[in-house]
A and B are shown apart, each in its own frame.
Chain A
Amino acid sequence: MKQEIFRSRWLPWWLSAPQLIVLFLFFYLPIALAFFWAFHLEQPFGGGSEFVGLENFRRVLGSGEFWTSAGATLLYMILASGTSITTALILALAADRALKLSPLARNVFIWPKAVASASIGVIFVFILNPFLGILAPLNEIWPGFWNPRTNVTHTYIMLFVTNVWNAIPFTFIILLAGLQAIPQELHKAGAMDGSGPWRRLWDIQLPLLTPQLFVVIVLEVADSLSGSFGLIDTMTQGGPGGSTNLLVYKIYSDGFKAYDLSGAATQTVILMVLVACITGFQYFFLERKVNYDR
């Protein structure tokens, strides 16, 4: 780094200030406040706080509702990231072959990226509406065939379908780029070695795709923990019967509907620690299986 690029020593700080301020206000400050509130009893409409030590944690961890929500969150994390990555991987593998419509598909699969998850939620609520949506005719033949408003399994299926649709663009792009970076010669060499398309998928493509798979697993898992809020808020509001009241939504309703700011902050801290632990685990254990040789 050359020092003399900037005449004034303050200029670099001025130039990076917008970024730093945004990061501080919307990222570091909330984290700090969440930790602060988690150890204090906050009054809902402001006006003083009282240090209570670990009392908030005792209260949150002692409630059965929290553990139900945490369990649902972990289940959702595994199934949502699993289904979205698998779907995107299958699509990327198909688009990587020089099939007829694959250039078109590569284009079309990016579009959902432009739609916010809340909007996607609203649209899918309509599409999957048991009375008006595409499955409504089946409900007329077999009453109760599809009802995400009362049937918990149906509700989760609806969330997963929507989440897959929402998550495809990013994951698909990363995986497709990884697949395309595998030299064509390796496929030819594999074919000469007698390895058919399926065998090549397991022996050559997937091992060489591990760096990209690792990235999307880390990002998708983290995203399924926090990014599900938009879908739940627009599609289920935690229902039916609190079955989809995942932590991220529970935090919101506890904090902003029930005005339990300290409880919400405590759960936020727990969720943050959970995400950090899971991501750390992935880096320590999963990354060892990643093969960066090219």
Chain B
Amino acid sequence: MLETSSTAAIGLHGLVKSYGETPVIPGLDAELRGGEFTVILGPSGCGKSTLLNCIAGLERLSAGRITIGGREVQEEEPKNRRLAMVFQNYALYPHMTVAENIGYALKVAGVNKTERAARVAEAARVVELGDYLDRRPGQLSGGQRQRVAIARAVVREPQVLLYDEPLSNLDAKLRHDMRRELAELHRRIGATSVFVTHDQVEAMTLADRIMVLNKGRIEQFDTPEAIYHRPASTFVAGFIGSPAMNLVDVTGEGGVLRLADGTALAAHSHRGPAILGIRPELVVPAPDGLPVQITYREELGAHAVLTLRLPDGTALRMATALGQRGGLPTDLRVALPAAELHLFDPLTGKALASATPATQTKKAQHDHVPS
């Protein structure tokens, strides 16, 4: 077991980063709890890597403060921030052996040879690197290189581990395995981890909390469970979930939500225009429901994803129940259960508070604030 220093919370206060005139991060406040695994999720160009580089100290802030373990670090060199980083393309030094790669930070820090060797061996053991210590990175597979990169990060016993899309260069099978190993590693060493990705599956499976970033702003920062079940905006709703949540323009009057042509879609007390959101897997067939046409069907083995056309031409995705195969009539009728509806403000895209599904307000289980 690696010696772990007391975990450090990361505070981001009024953080601004611009390149020339263009603000990439126009002002961001967040508290990343100590020991927590935070995933920063967003589409490319949303500023997530920039944010990570700012925390790492590889980019200078334009304004704002960063605290790590209560200490202001925005003016500090990366090496003084007590953090380590795993890069997307591993960034191993090609001319050094695996052992030299892992031990480089210790060598720079002036750790003597015997202690260095012991700590390198320990770090290699933690990531189950086996006996590759004398090889060069060029002789290793993608997964092994990734392990070396992680060992290089943990060998310094950092308070904070930063990951910059570390799995995106691996193939699907390996990515799945590494994801599991990263989760286990986090449980073992317990350092505060910040993980940047555009992959929602990685975010959902690894994170204690997910920070969804869009154009440098936080759309939502919450547990995976809350992000999935209570998206704070249409952006989050559309970004998380596969297939993505249906978003339909509706108007509420007299306890019913109607499409533009007046078709009644679902029962709800909301009044006035809104964007209705419903997960494809929660659209259910109902004998007395809305008549729809199936325009496209994707058979995924365990279930199928249908594209339906509502009477006014609006498209609606529906995921069939597990194990249900074929057999759906072409004149399908569906219902949108009132308890599963999300309503968003048509102008701001923010969730309408009154419309949160009543069934999913239980407290998130992932909250474990270390003492």
A→B interface (CB under 8 Å): 183, 185-186, 188-195, 199, 203-204, 207-208, 291, 293-294
Q: Does A194 contact B108, Cβ atoms closer than 8 Å?
A: yes
> Are the CB atoms of A188 and B87 closer together than 8 Å?
yes
B105 at the interface (CB under 8 A from A): yes
Nearest-neighbour CB distance to chain B for A198, whole angstroms, equals: 11
Query: By the criterion CB–CB under 8 Å, are B87 and A189 in contact?
Result: yes
Most buried by B among A186, A193, A203: A193
- Which one of A183, A185, A194, A291 has the highest number of Cβ atoms from chain B below 10 Å of its Cβ? A194
CA distance A194 to B89 in the complex (A): 20
Contact in complex: A185, B91 (CB < 8 Å) = yes
22 contacts between A and B (CB under 8 A): A186-B93, A188-B53, A188-B56, A188-B91, A189-B85, A189-B91, A189-B92, A191-B58, A191-B77, A191-B78, A191-B79, A192-B56, A192-B58, A192-B79, A192-B105, A193-B108, A195-B105, A203-B93, A204-B93, A207-B95, A293-B94, A294-B94
A120 to chain B, nearest CB (A): 37
What are the residues of chain B within 8 A of A294 when measuring CB–CB? 94, 138
Which residues from A are CB-within-8-Å of B108?
193-195, 199, 203
B58 in contact with A193 (CB, 8 Å): no
Q: Is the CB of B85 within 8 A of A192?
A: yes
Q: Which residues of A contact B87 (CB under 8 A)?
A: 185, 188-189
B58 near A208: Cβ-Cβ < 8 Å = no
Q: Shortest beta-carbon distance, B49 to chain A, in Å? A: 11
Given contacts A188-B87, A192-B85, 19 further A-B contacts (CB under 8 A): A185-B91, A189-B93, A190-B104, A191-B78, A192-B56, A192-B79, A192-B105, A193-B104, A193-B108, A193-B156, A194-B78, A194-B108, A195-B79, A199-B108, A204-B93, A208-B94, A293-B138, A294-B94, A294-B138
When each residue 241-279 of chain B gets 1 if its CB lies under 8 Å from chain A and 0 otherwise, what string results?
Answer: 000000000000000000000000000000000000000
B109 at interface (Cβ–Cβ under 8 A)?
Answer: yes
Chain B minimum-CB-distance residue to A184: B91
Instruction: Flag if A188 contacts B58 (CB, 8 Å).
Output: yes
B139's nearest neighbour on chain A, judged by CB, is A293
Is there a chain A Cβ closer than 8 Å to B136's Cβ? yes
**Complex contact B91–A186 (CB within 8 A):** yes
Closest to B83 in A: A192
Asked if A194 and B109 make an inter-chain contact with CB atoms under 8 angstroms apart, the answer reads yes
**In the assembled complex, which residues on chain A have CB atoms less than 8 Å from the CB atom of B104?**
190, 193, 195, 203
**Which 9 pairs between the two chains have the least Cβ-Cβ distance?**
A194-B79, A185-B91, A193-B105, A189-B91, A293-B94, A291-B95, A207-B95, A293-B138, A194-B108
Residue of A nearest to B85 (CB): A192
A112 to B209 Cα, complex, angstroms: 59
Chain B residues with Cβ below 8 Å from A192 are: 56, 58, 78-79, 83-85, 105
Measured between beta carbons, the chain A residues less than 8 angstroms from B11 are: none
For A203, the chain B residues whose CB sits under 8 A away are 93, 104, 108
Given A191-B79, A193-B79, A194-B108, is A293 in contact with B95 using a C-beta cutoff of 8 Å? yes
Q: Answer whether residue B137 sits at the interface, using C-beta atoms and an 8 A cutoff.
A: yes
Contact partner of B136 (CB less than 8 A), chosen from A207, A208, A293, is A293
Indicate which residue in B79, B85, B94 contacts A188 across the interface (CB closer than 8 Å). B85
Q: How many inter-chain contacts with C-beta < 8 Å in the A-B complex?
A: 67
A188: nearest residue on chain B (CB-CB)? B58
Q: Which of B47-84 contact A (CB under 8 A)?
A: 53, 56-58, 77-79, 83-84
Please encode chain B, from 95 to 112, with 1 for each CB lying within 8 Å of some chain A CB and 0 for all others: 100000000110011000
* A-facing residues in B131-161 (Cβ within 8 Å): 136-138, 152, 156
Collect the chain B residues with CB atoms within 8 Å of residue A193's CB: 79, 104-105, 108, 152, 156
Give bound CA distance, A194 to B56, whole Å. Answer: 12
B79→A185 contact, CB < 8 A = no
Complex: how many Å from CA A189 to CA B166? 13
A76 to B109, CA, bound (A): 42
Which residues 220-246 of B sit at the A interface, judged by CB distance below 8 A? none
Q: Is the CB of A293 within 8 A of B89?
A: no
Docked CA distance A203–B93 (Å): 9
Which residues does chain B contribute within 8 Å of A208, judged by CB atoms?
A: 94-95
Nearest neighbor of A193 in chain B, beta-carbon distance: B105
B58 contact set on A, CB distance < 8 A: 188, 191-192
Taking CB atoms, residues of chain A closer than 8 Å to B89 are 183, 185
- B88 / chain A contacts, CB cutoff of 8 Å: 185
Least Cβ–Cβ distance between A288 and chain B, in angstroms: 14
Query: Which residues from chain B contact A185 at a C-beta distance below 8 Å?
Result: 87-89, 91
Tell me, in angstroms, the Cα distance from A190 to B105 when the chains sit together.
8
B53, B77, B91, B92: most-surrounded residue (chain A CB, <10 A): B91
B84 cross-chain contacts in A, Cβ below 8 A: 192
Contact A183 B93 (CB under 8 A): no
A281 CB to nearest chain B CB (Å): 23
Q: How far is the CA of A222 from the CA of B78 in the complex (A)?
A: 44
List which B144-191 residues lie within 8 A (CB) of chain A.
152, 156
